[in-house]
Structure 1
Amino acid sequence: MADSSNIIFEDRFTVETVDKDGKKFDRVSRITAPSHNLQMSLTLDLANELYPLQEGEVFTLAIARTLVPEELVNENDDEGSENGEKSKKIKRELWRSENMGLGEDYDYVMFGKIYKFDDSAQGDNQTTAYFSFGGLLMALRGSYRHLASVVVGENVYLLMRK
């Protein structure tokens, strides 16, 4: 896991299948991938023209609350409404600046929302968190301990790099 409190999940995955049930959409692929360190399983829809992945490829996936570096947020979150407003503006305007924060370290970034958390699946201590990134869906399944920071309704960024 990452040290930053902005990152709520991070691990390396190996692509196991691409479009296992057949291709449903022209520009979208559904991958399945087990994680290396945390015994998690991932099902993810991604724009295959922007970020193509093949079976056997290894990638890092991170889920973050914000792309703004933690030190920049803390520096501007001091007391007082003026500094609080400055922090909100930094978060809102990050995409316009030359420094893209966490996004600079990754190849593929999506913004979305955690919409469901399901504990009813088989297996002890197993849970699934469901995410939507503008219609591209993701299911992350594994031990509830690794998904403890996941909160339904929270906006998040998905970051990937090979």
Structure 2
Amino acid sequence: MSSSSSNVVFDDSFLITAIDKDGKKFDRVSRLQGHSRNHDMDMTLDYNIELFPLKTGDTVTVALASSLSRNPISADGTNEDDRKWRPDGKGPKGLEEDYQYVMYGKVYKFDESTSDIVTAYASFGGLLMSLSGSARHMTNIVLGDPIYLLARAN
């Protein structure tokens, strides 16, 4: 990844329009549908309802990031914070400090329904996300790259 001003590749606030609790296959997982307030995007997301309880009508801020570091990744693919991280929590604090719910996964597919509308798909250990909307808002989301999903209820 090239040097940039942030490791956040997408962020927006989503109004939750539906939560599917009836079709779920796992006791602690539901699937939400939301529409973004700023970029006219649609998102479907599987999430753990015990760790992150939400209801229809809530607003949730969602960010996608290439790293949890607050410092951008350098041109050589390294980050100063990554070298200082410690498992005891005494290293630098990252983006996760600003959110309530974090998942790590991989972007595994892109679909183009029109020349401007794109859907990105990511899997977070089997919990799935699809994000649809204008391709210009997803230019920094890269197929095959690992990604962090960070969320907080507003």
**Normalization by structure 1: what TM-score?**
0.81
- Tell me how large the CA RMSD over aligned residues is: 2.4
| Matched residue, 2:103 | 110
Alignment of 1:2-151 (within 5 A): 4-19=5-20, 22-70=23-71, 88-90=82-84, 93=85, 96-98=88-90, 99-119=92-112, 121=113, 123=114, 125-151=116-142
* AA at the equivalent of 2:102: V
Structure 1 unaligned runs (5+)?
none
Q: Scaled by the length of structure 2, what TM-score is found?
A: 0.85
Alpha-carbon distance change, 105 to 129 in structure 1, aligned in 2, over 3 angstroms: same
User: Sequence identity, in percent?
Assistant: 46
Contact 1:7 1:65 in 2 (8 A): yes
Could you tell me whether the CA contact under 8 Å between 2:15 and 2:60 is conserved in 1?
A: yes
How far has the Cα of 1:100 moved from its partner? 3.1
Given residue 101 of structure 1, which amino acid in structure 2 is its aligned partner?
Answer: G
Q: Supply the AA of the counterpart residue of 1:63.
A: L
* Distance change (3 Å), C-alpha of 1:107 and 1:88: closer
Number of equivalenced pairs: 148
- CA shift, 1:87, in A, is 5.6
> Does the 8 Å CA contact 1:68/1:94 hold for their aligned counterparts?
no
Q: Comparing both structures, which one devotes a greater share of its residues to strand?
A: 2
Per-residue deviation at 1:24?
Answer: 2.4
Cα pair distance change 1:115/1:61, threshold 3 Å: same
Which one has the largest radius of gyration? 1
SS of the equivalent of 1:17 reads strand
* Residues 57 and 95 (structure 1), Cα distance of their counterparts in 2 relative to 1, 3 Å cut: farther
Structure 2 runs not aligned, ≥5 long:
none
| Structure-1 separation of matches of 2:142 and 2:86 | 24
The CA distance in 2 between the partners of 1:86 and 1:14, in whole Å, is 36
Report which of the two has the higher share of helix. Answer: 1
Alignment CA distance shift 1:94-1:126 (3 Å): farther
- Kindly indicate whether the alpha-carbon contact (under 8 Å) linking 2:6 and 2:70 is maintained by their aligned counterparts in 1: no
Task: Give the 4+ runs in structure 1 shifted more than 4 A.
Answer: 84-88
Rate the CA distance shift 1:26–1:127 in 2: closer, same or farther, 3 A.
Answer: same
Q: Matched residues in 1 for 2:145 and 2:52: separation?
A: 25
The alpha carbon displacement at 1:126 in A equals 0.5
Shift of 1:97: 2.3
